[in-house]
C-alpha cells in the first residue's frame, strides 16, 4: 500500500547545503493505490542523506500530538500541528546514529560526526532522556507495509503497489537519498487510516526498482515515530519552515530508569545460543545488516530490536515490540519472543532429526533390496518383476481350457505389460485386468451329483415340506442324468417371508454338489453392481457375476439372487434391465462384463431368484424365470418343523441338553396358535430361542436344575399371548359373513359387516320419483374392492327382487358396509361373493350357516370368477375352525394340489354361479330359492 505525503521532515542534501523542501501533494487512481494527503507535524530527522541538522542534537524521545481529521483517497485534511514523539539515545560514551545518533566521542554527547558543526548546544541528557521537539518538519512520504514491521538499523526489501513510472514519483522520493516513513498494517489494502498502527519507522531508501505494477525498495530503518493525527499546513515556503526551526526551543524531560544489565546478558545469551543451534539464522549476516564497528550488546535499544527482528513471530507481536517505549519492557518482550523461537527451533530440529533418520532408514532399506535383487538376478535365483508376473499368469492358465478369443486378449495384454514401466498407473491397471482374466475358471466345472436318492436325502435333511421345490430339483437332476450333461436354469421361488426360500437354495447346492454363491439385489440402483465398471475408472472392478465365478472357481455354480422383487432404480441405470441379459438362456452364454470386456459363458450356471410378491417384478424379467410358489406352513407343519429342526438346533446353540430342557408338543402347539400365526417359522424360531435363553438363565443362576416347558408355564418364558381369539365371531349374526383373504404373511379370515345407517325411507318421494337407498363403505378399502362392493350391491338388489319379489328392503335403505380391521389396507376382487351374501343376509334378516367361509369374485350377472392364494386361504380357514368353504369352480385344480392334512375335515363346495352358492349359505331358505 503506497500512501504519499503527510509526513513532514527536514531534508538537507550535502551538495546543496542546508535547505528546505516544500510540501507537494500527489494523487493516484485505482483500487490498490489509495492516496492520502495530510501532514505529520514537526518531526526532525537526525540523519538525512549523510548529513545532520545543525539545529538538532541527539534526542531520545520527541513527542508529537496531532489534532484534526484523517481521510483517505484524496480527501483533504486540515488541522493544527502540535508535536510528535521520537525515541532515541543520548549517552556519554559511544553514541549511535539512527535512533541513538551517530557514534561520537566525548562525555557530553555532543554531535561530532559528519561535518562536526554544532551551532546549537543542547542541555545535558541521559541515554534515555525524552525531549520535546519544535513544531516544524517538512514533507516525507508515508508508506503502509503489511506483514512484519521495519526495525531501526535493519535493512529490508519492501515492495509497494504503484502503477505509475519512476519519473512520476513525488519529488520527495527523488532526493538523494530519499527518506520516507513506514507504518505497519494488517491487510494489503488500506481502506481507512484506522487500519494502520500508530507507531512506525523512519527509513532511508538506498535503492529503488520499477517492477511494473510494484516498486521494490531497499531501505534501512533509522528511528521510531508515533503519530496521533494528520494535519494540513499552509506553510509551503522553505523560509518559513526554516524560521520555525531556528526559533524552536528544546525542553529536557529527564526520566530516571533502572539499569538492566542482567536482562541484557540474558537476552544476549539466548540469542547467542540460538545462533549455535540453528542453521537458519547466521549471526554474520545479522551483523552485516547493521552498521559496522558497533557492539549490539552494549545498547539495550538495538539489542531488543535485533532480538525481535531475528524471530519469526507474528506481525502483531513484532509491532508490539516496535511500539513499546519502555526499554526494559521492550527487552522483556524481545526475550519472550526469542525464547519462544528457541523452543520452536529445538522442536523443529528434533522433528528434523527424526524425519532424517526415518528417511535414511528407508533409503538404506531400499538400497539393500535393490542390491539383493541384482545379486539374485546374477545368481539366477530371481527374475525381473515383469517376468515373474507373466510367469505367474501363464501358470494359472496351464490346467484350464481357455477359449481362443480370450487367449488372444491375454497375450496382447501380457505384451503390453512388458513394455510398461513398473511405476506407471497403466501398469497397475493392466496387471489387475490380467489378474481377473487369468483367475476366471475357464473350462473348470464341479462334478455334479446326478443320483436322485442322494439328492432327495439331502433336501429332506434340511427342510420340511416344500414339495414343489423338491420335485422341481429332482426333475432337473433326472433330465441331466438322461442327457449326460447339465445345463443352467433360472428358477424363482416366491412366497411369504420366513418359509425357507433362501435356505432351500443352499440345500439345493449341496444336493447337486455345486458351489454356492449368494448376493442380494434388494435396493440396488447401480447397474455396475451386476455388469461391472469400465477399466478407465479408478478402483474399477467386475460385477457380482464375475466375482462369483472367481470365488467359486467353477463355471457351474448355483447363484442365488435374493430379493429380486425389491430391486431399485437410480440415475446410474435400471438393474432389473441388466438382469435381462443375465437371466436369459438365449443370451447368457455370451455375457459381456464391462470390466472384462470379453464374452463369458454363463449357460451352465443354475440361477435361483427369491421374491415375496410377483407384482413388483418387471414383466420381461418375470417371463424369463420359472415361477415356483413356496406357500406358508399350517400349524401341523410348523409343529413338525419345530420338533424336528428348531428345538434341537436352538437347544444346542444355547448350551442346553435334552436331559435338562425339553418343550412338550402341547406347549409348542400353544406357542404356534397364540404367538406365531405368520406363514413362516422365523418368529417361531425367535420364540423358541427366547424360551431356551430363559431356561439357561434359571439353570445357571441355580434356580432349577432341569426345566420342562408345558402349556401351564409357557407364559413364564414368552409372556402373555398375542392372539387369544381365533375368530371375531363365534356365531355370525345377520349381515355378517366370513370371507377369506391372502396377505404377504399368508392367508387370513376376513369378516364383512353390513348394517342399516338409518330407518328406511318408506313412501318418501322427491321431485324425480321415489328416493333410492345408499351404500357407505369403510375399512380402508382399495379402488378394486370398492368397485367390487358396488357390483355386489347391484347384483344383490337384482337377486333379491327375483328371489323374494315382495322384499323391497334395498329400496330406500341406507346401508353401511365395513371390513375390519380398519387400520389394515385391503384391496382385491375376491370378496365379491362374500359382500353379496352379507347384503342378502341383512335384507332377509337371516344369519348364514355356522362355520362357513367363502372366497371368489362376482360379476354383475352373478358368475363366480377364480381367485388366487387357495392354499393360504384354506390354511387360514382351517386355523379359524371353519368346517365348510366355498371356492370358485375354476380353482378346483389348485385345491386338489393341497396335501391331505390340510384338506382333511373340510367340506368344500365349488360353484360357478351365485345361485349355487345361495342354498349352501342359507339352507333354511331352500323352499324360496328362485328357479333359474
48 is in an annotated binding site: no
Separation between Cα atoms, residue 96 and residue 90, nearest integer Å? 8
* 911 annotated binding-site participant: no
Which H or E element spans position 502?
helix 501-512
SS3 content of the chain, % helix, strand, coil (to 5): 40, 20, 45
Q: Alpha helices, DSSP H only, in 327-400? A: 327-379, 385-396
Grid coordinates of 856 = 371368489
DSSP label at residue 522: T
495 is in an annotated binding site: yes
| Residue 903 host element (H or E) | helix 900-903
Please calculate the CA angle 577-578-579 and round it to the nearest 5 degrees: 90
Radius of gyration in angstroms for the set of CA atoms belonging to the chain, rounded to a whole number: 52
Sequence-ordered strand ranges (E) for 746-867: 746-758, 765-766, 769-770, 774-778, 814-818, 852-854, 857-858, 864-865
Residue 819 DSSP SS3:
coil
> Which residues fall within 8 angstroms of residue 375, CB to CB, at 6 or more apart?
none
Determine the Cα–Cα distance for residues 858 and 737; give it in Å rounded to an integer. 15
Task: Name the helix (H) or strand (E) containing 548.
Answer: helix 544-552
d(CA 85, CA 81): 13
Characterize 354-388 residue by residue with b for buried, 16 or more Cβ atoms within 10 angstroms of its Cβ, and e for exposed.
eeeeeeeeeeeeeeeeeeeeeeeeeeeeeeeebee
Active site residue: 45, 507, 813, 830, which one?
830
Alpha-carbon distances of 808 from 769, 830, 848, 881, rounded to whole Å? 16, 27, 20, 35
Q: Grid coordinates standing for 773?
A: 337407498
Q: How many residues does the chain have?
A: 932
Among this protein's residues, is 830 annotated catalytic?
yes
- Does 499 appear as a known binding residue? yes
Q: Does the annotation place 500 within a ligand binding site?
A: yes
Q: Which residues pair with 627 in a beta bridge?
A: 492
Alpha-carbon distance of 303 to 269, in angstroms, equals 11
523 carries a ligand binding annotation: no
731 is catalytic: no
Distance from chain centroid for Cα 662: 50
User: Distance (Å, rounded) from C-alpha 756 to C-alpha 806?
Assistant: 19
Q: Which three cell numbers stand for residue 622?
A: 418375470
**According to the annotation, is 212 in a ligand binding site?**
no
Whether residue 702 is annotated as binding a ligand: the answer is: no
CA–CA separation, 787 and 510 (whole Å): 49
From 34, 228, 333, 873, the catalytic residue: 873
Catalytic residues: 830, 873
Annotated binding site: 495-502
Annotated binding site for ATP: 495-502
Amino acid at each position: 500500500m503506497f500512501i504519499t505525503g503527510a509526513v513532514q521532515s527536514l531534508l538537507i542534501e550535502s551538495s546543496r547545503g542546508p535547505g528546505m523542501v516544500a510540501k507537494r501533494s500527489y494523487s493516484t487512481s485505482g483500487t490498490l493505490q489509495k492516496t492520502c494527503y495530510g501532514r505529520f507535524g514537526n518531526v526532525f530527522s537526525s540523519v538525512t542523506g549523510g548529513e545532520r541538522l545543525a539545529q538538532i542534537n541527539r534526542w531520545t524521545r520527541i513527542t508529537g500530538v496531532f489534532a484534526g481529521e484523517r481521510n483517505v483517497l484524496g480527501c483533504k485534511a486540515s488541522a493544527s500541528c502540535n508535536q510528535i514523539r521520537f525515541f532515541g539515545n543520548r549517552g556519554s560514551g559511544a553514541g549511535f546514529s539512527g535512533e541513538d545518533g551517530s557514534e561520537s566521542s566525548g562525555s557530553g554527547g555532543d554531535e561530532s560526526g559528519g561535518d562536526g558543526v554544532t551551532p546549537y548546544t543542547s542541555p545535558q541528557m541521559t541515554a534515555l532522556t525524552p525531549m520535546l521537539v519544535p513544531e516544524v518538519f517538512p514533507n516525507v512520504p508515508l508508506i503502509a507495509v503489511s506483514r512484519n514491521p521495519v526495525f531501526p538499523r535493519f535493512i529490508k526489501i519492501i515492495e509497494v503497489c504503484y502503477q505509475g513510472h519512476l519519473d512520476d514519483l513525488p519529488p520527495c522520493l527523488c532526493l538523494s537519498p530519499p527518506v520516507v516513513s513506514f507504518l505497519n498494517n494488517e491487510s494489503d489494502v488500506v481502506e481507512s487510516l484506522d487500519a494502520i498502527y500508530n507507531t512506525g519507522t523512519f527509513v532511508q531508501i538506498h535503492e529503488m526498482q520499477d517492477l511494473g505494477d510494484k516498486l521494490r525498495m531497499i531501505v534501512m530503518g533509522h528511528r521510531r515515530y508515533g503519530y496521533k493525527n494528520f494535519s494540513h499546513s499552509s506553510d509551503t515556503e522553505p523560509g518559513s519552515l526554516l524560521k520555525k526551526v531556528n526559533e524552536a526551543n528544546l525542553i529536557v524531560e529527564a526520566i530516571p530508569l533502572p539499569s538492566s544489565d542482567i536482562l541484557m546478558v540474558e537476552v544476549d545469551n539466548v540469542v547467542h545460543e540460538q545462533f549455535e543451534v540453528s542453521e537458519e539464522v547466521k549471526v554474520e549476516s545479522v551483523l552485516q545488516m547493521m552498521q559496522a564497528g558497533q557492539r549490539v550488546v552494549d545498547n539495550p535499544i538495538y539489542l531488543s530490536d535485533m532480538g525481535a527482528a531475528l524471530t519469526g513471530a507474528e506481525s502483531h507481536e513484532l509491532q508490539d515490540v516496535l511500539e513499546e517505549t519502555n526499554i526494559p519492557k521492550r527487552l522483556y518482550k524481545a526475550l519472550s519472543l526469542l525464547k519462544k523461537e528457541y523452543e520452536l527451533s529445538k522442536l523443529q530440529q528434533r522433528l528434523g532429526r527424526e524425519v532424517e533418520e526415518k528417511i535414511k532408514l528407508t533409503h538404506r532399506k531400499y538400497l539393500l533390496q535393490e542390491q539383493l535383487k541384482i545379486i539374485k538376478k546374477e545368481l539366477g535365483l530371481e527374475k525381473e518383476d515383469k517376468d515373474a508376473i507373466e510367469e505367474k499368469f501363464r501358470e494359472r492358465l496351464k490346467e484350464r481350457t481357455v477359449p481362443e478369443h480370450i487367449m488372444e486378449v491375454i497375450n496382447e495384454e501380457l505384451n503390453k505389460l512388458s513394455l510398461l514401466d513398473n511405476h506407471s498407473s497403466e501398469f497397475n491397471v493392466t496387471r489387475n485386468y490380467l489378474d481377473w482374466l487369468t483367475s476366471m475358471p475357464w473350462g473348470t466345472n464341479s462334478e455334479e451329483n446326478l443320483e436322485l436318492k442322494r439328492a432327495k436325502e439331502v433336501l429332506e435333511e434340511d427342510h420340511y415340506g416344500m414339495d414343489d421345490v423338491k420335485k422341481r430339483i429332482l426333475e432337473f437332476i433326472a433330465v441331466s442324468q438322461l442327457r449326460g450333461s447339465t445345463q443352467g436354469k433360472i428358477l424363482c421361488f416366491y412366497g411369504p417371508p420366513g418359509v425357507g426360500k433362501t435356505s432351500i437354495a443352499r440345500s439345493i447346492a449341496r444336493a447337486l454338489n455345486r458351489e454356492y454363491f449368494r448376493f442380494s439385489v434388494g435396493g440396488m440402483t447401480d447397474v455396475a453392481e451386476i455388469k461391472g465398471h469400465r477399466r478407465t475408472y479408478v478402483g474399477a472392478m467386475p460385477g457380482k457375476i464375475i466375482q462369483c465365478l472367481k470365488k467359486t472357481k467353477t463355471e457351474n455354480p448355483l447363484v442365488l439372487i435374493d430379493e429380486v422383487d425389491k430391486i431399485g432404480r437410480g440415475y446410474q441405470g435400471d438393474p432389473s434391465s441388466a438382469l435381462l441379459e443375465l437371466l436369459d438362456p438365449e443370451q447368457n452364454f455370451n455375457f459381456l462384463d464391462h470390466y472384462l470386456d470379453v464374452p463369458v459363458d454363463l449357460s451352465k450356471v443354475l440361477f435361483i431368484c427369491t421374491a415375496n410378491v410377483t407384482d413388483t417384478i418387471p414383466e420381461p424379467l418375470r417371463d424369463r424365470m420359472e415361477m415356483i410358489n413356496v406357500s406358508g406352513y399350517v400349524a401341523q407343519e410348523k409343529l413338525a418343523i419345530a420338533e424336528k429342526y428348531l428345538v434341537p438346533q436352538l437347544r444346542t446353540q444355547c448350551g442346553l441338553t435334552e436331559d435338562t430342557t425339553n418343550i412338550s408338543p402341547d406347549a409348542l402347539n400353544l406357542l404356534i396358535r397364540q404367538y406365531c400365526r405368520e406363514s413362516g417359522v422365523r418368529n417361531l424360531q425367535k420364540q423358541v430361542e427366547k424360551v431356551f435363553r430363559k431356561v439357561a438363565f434359571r439353570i445357571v443362576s441355580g434356580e432349577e436344575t432341569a426345566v420342562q416347558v408345558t402349556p401351564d408355564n409357557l407364559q413364564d418364558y414368552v409372556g402373555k399371548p398375542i392372539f387369544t381369539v381365533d375368530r371375531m365371531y363365534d356365531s355370525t349374526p345377520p349381515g355378517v359373513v366370513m370371507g377369506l383373504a391372502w396377505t404377504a404373511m399368508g392367508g387370513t379370515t376376513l369378516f364383512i359387516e353390513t348394517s342399516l345407517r338409518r330407518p328406511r325411507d318408506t313412501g318418501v318421494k322427491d321431485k324425480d320419483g321415489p328416493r333410492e337407498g345408499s351404500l357407505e363403505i369403510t375399512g380402508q378399502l382399495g379402488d378394486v374392492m370398492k368397485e367390487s362392493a358396488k357390483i355386489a350391491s347391484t347384483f344383490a338388489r337384482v337377486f333379491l327382487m327375483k328371489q323374494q319379489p315382495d322384499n323391497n328392503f334395498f329400496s330406500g335403505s341406507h346401508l353401511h358396509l365395513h371390513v375390519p380391521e380398519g387400520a389394515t389396507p385391503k384391496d382385491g376382487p375376491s370378496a365379491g361373493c362374500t359382500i353379496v351374501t352379507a347384503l342378502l343376509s341383512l335384507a332377509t334378516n337371516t344369519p348364514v350357516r355356522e362355520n362357513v367361509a367363502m372366497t371368489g369374485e362376482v360379476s354383475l350377472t352373478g358368475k363366480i370368477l377364480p381367485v388366487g392364494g387357495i392354499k393360504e386361504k384354506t390354511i387360514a380357514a382351517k386355523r379359524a375352525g371353519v368346517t365348510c368353504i366355498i371356492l370358485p369352480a375354476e380353482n378346483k385344480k389348485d385345491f386338489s394340489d393341497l396335501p391331505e392334512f390340510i384338506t382333511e375335515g373340510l367340506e368344500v363346495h365349488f360353484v360357478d354361479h351365485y345361485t349355487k352358492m345361495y342354498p349352501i349359505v342359507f339352507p333354511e331358505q331352500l323352499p324360496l330359492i328362485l328357479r333359474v
